[in-house]
Amino acid sequence: MYIDENEVLRYLGVNPKLANLKLRAYVKDGIEEILKVAYPKYVYTLLDIDTTEEKILLKGTNVYLEGNSIKKSI
């Protein structure tokens, strides 16, 4: 598993270009600790879909997805 140090800084609200060495060291230590104990896990279900002009409906659920980005992804 890979954790991007710059992404961590960004999520912390810090511009990676402006992060000082001390903060970068804390982030690197944190990433190392996480990688020692975290293991990727996931659960998924395959669903059929119905599409309309405005949204994508996940069959068998009451979930629908809207937006152009999701339409392009599916």
| Arithmetic mean of pLDDT over the chain | 92
The answer to whether residue 70 scores a pLDDT higher than 90 is no
Structural domain containing residue 57: 42-74
Q: What is the pLDDT of residue 13?
A: 97
Q: Do 30 and 50 sit in the same domain of this protein?
A: no
Question: Helix, strand or coil for residue 17?
Answer: helix
Question: Helix, strand or coil for residue 29?
Answer: helix
Q: Do 31 and 10 sit in the same domain of this protein?
A: yes
Q: What is the pTM of this model?
A: 0.56
Cα 40 to Cα 1, 9, 10, 74: the distances in Å are: 8, 21, 22, 24
CA 15, 16, 22, 25 dihedral sign is positive
Residue 54 confidence class, pLDDT cut points 50, 70, 90 = confident
Could you give the number of structural domains in the chain?
Answer: 2
- Among left, alpha and beta (phi > 0; psi -120 to 50; other), residue 67 is left
